[in-house]
Amino acid sequence: MKTIEDLDVAGKRVFVRADLNVPLSDGRITDDGRIRAVAPTITKLLQAGAKVIVASHLGRPKGEPDPQFSLAPVALRLGEILGTSVSFATDTVGESAKATVAALADGEVTLLENLRFNAGETAKDDAERGAFADQLAALADAYVGDGFGAVHRKHASVYDLPARLPHAVGDLIATEVAVLKRLTEEVERPYVVVLGGSKVSDKVGVIDNLLGKADRILIGGGMAYTFLAALGHEVGISLLQKDQIPTVLEYLERAKANGVEFVLPVDVSVSASFPDTKTHKPVEDFEVVDADKIPADKEGLDIGPRTRELFASKLADAATVFWNGPVGVFEHPTFAEGTKAVAAALLESNAFTVVGGGDSAAAVRILGFDETKFGHISTGGGASLEYLEGKTLPGLAALEG
């Protein structure tokens, strides 16, 4: 893949496909990690004299403008991080976008409104998607792909647009790919994988692929209860995907045959109701129970203290660690201890540690850990997982062309 250094950008309009899909609460950005991650690429282009057009999606609008998914707050934060003014186009390829881009001087930057406000961005129809890509291409002279969190999507700005312009990979994607190669092609062992999150079905592909690569797989979060149920344990009202039990049993058998150690919770924190993650109202009835003795009327919401110690011991000698998914409801203090323990164990190890984006990355920041102490914090949870599954990512394939 070509890099920014391979492009002549001075005085040129450079379209940067970023991933600025940040979490918002009442119009306020609660985690600006993805904005900060792409800032170095934008800065490099500005310093080279480019006219930079940044574009991204935010949330899942239905192909038309929706104020709750506007990128306007992102434009303000991007300007603060870059230390320069960022103009904002109130549409994607309309009059505002054309006028805002036309007004750019060398070394200036603008942000277009949410790409998904145009149905062509996510269209399944190649012609509709291509028509939108044509409109985006008319705004620019060159393309830089740096939105790693979107490269697993066959969307107009990710897949179709690079073919229409001289293109290169941004520094963020280059780093992400280099890290993922260390997890797939050049792995230092022992290689330990920690998987959390709510659903087994979200991780089926990656577990399937890792059974031939990892030395240990630690399972926490909501998905753990399907594993526990597969072993015949009562899981109460915990999150359970019964349809995944046959798959889980197959994985456990394959792991045994392949010499891969599967580590499941031995105790869990439970409650009769899901905690209020906004007000952090105290949970009066929570208790810690053995993982095979969850009360029928309670829900598992975090790994327990013995499991925290167990997971830490299984991470202590690792040379490489990939972690994707919190192991409890970290948004509430009562059930954040497991996720804190995993993060702390990663920092205490001498391993090359990769936090696989999404909620895991958010948890690291929200729980107050110094993210610079980890080997790498990915900006794309879904993209990272699909890469580890061995899938071809459309956005990367387009940049290789």
Is 19 labeled as ligand-binding?
A: yes
Q: Phi, psi at residue 339, to the nearest 5°?
A: -65, -40
Max Cα separation, the chain? 67
Is 59 labeled as ligand-binding?
A: yes
Asked if residues 297 and 324 have their Cβ atoms less than 8 Å apart, the reply is no
Dihedral of CA 292/297/301/304: which sign?
negative
Is 359 labeled as ligand-binding?
A: yes
Distance, in Å, from the CA atom of 213 to the CA atom of 219, rounded to the nearest integer, reads 16
Residue carrying structure tokens 């107050």: 368
Is 51 labeled as ligand-binding?
A: no
Catalytic positions, written as ranges: 34, 199, 358, 382
Distance, in Å, from the CA atom of 389 to the CA atom of 312, rounded to the nearest integer, reads 26
Residue carrying structure tokens 């997982």: 385
Both structure tokens of 164: 């229409």
Is 357 labeled as ligand-binding?
A: yes
Give the Cβ contact number of residue 25 at 10 Å.
Answer: 9
Is 376 labeled as ligand-binding?
A: no
Q: Is 207 helix (H, G, I), strand (E, B) or coil?
A: helix
Is 49 labeled as ligand-binding?
A: no
Q: Is 195 helix (H, G, I), strand (E, B) or coil?
A: strand
Is 358 labeled as ligand-binding?
A: yes
Residue carrying structure tokens 């592909």: 205
Beta bridge partners of 270: 287, 300
Is 28 labeled as ligand-binding?
A: no
Dihedral of CA 250/251/253/258: which sign?
positive
Is 152 labeled as ligand-binding?
A: no
Distance, in Å, from the CA atom of 252 to the CA atom of 258, rounded to the nearest integer, reads 10
Closest CA to 182 of 326, 358, 351: 351
Closest CA to 286 of 236, 224, 240: 236
Is 300 labeled as ligand-binding?
A: yes
Is 240 labeled as ligand-binding?
A: no
Is 118 labeled as ligand-binding?
A: no
In b/e form, how buried is each residue of 61-85, taking b as 16+ CB within 10 angstroms? beeebeeebbbeebbebbbebbeee
Is 36 labeled as ligand-binding?
A: no
In one-letter notation, the amino acid at residue 366 is I
Asked if residues 167 and 160 have their Cβ atoms less than 8 Å apart, the reply is no
Closest CA to 150 of 62, 18, 22: 18
Both structure tokens of 135: 């409109």
Is 60 labeled as ligand-binding?
A: yes
- In the annotated binding site for (2R)-3-phosphoglycerate, the residues are 34, 116, 153
- In the annotated binding site for substrate, the residues are 19-21, 34, 57-60, 116, 153
- In the annotated binding site, the residues are 19-21, 34, 57-60, 116, 153, 203, 300, 331, 357-360
- In the annotated binding site for ATP, the residues are 203, 300, 331, 357-360
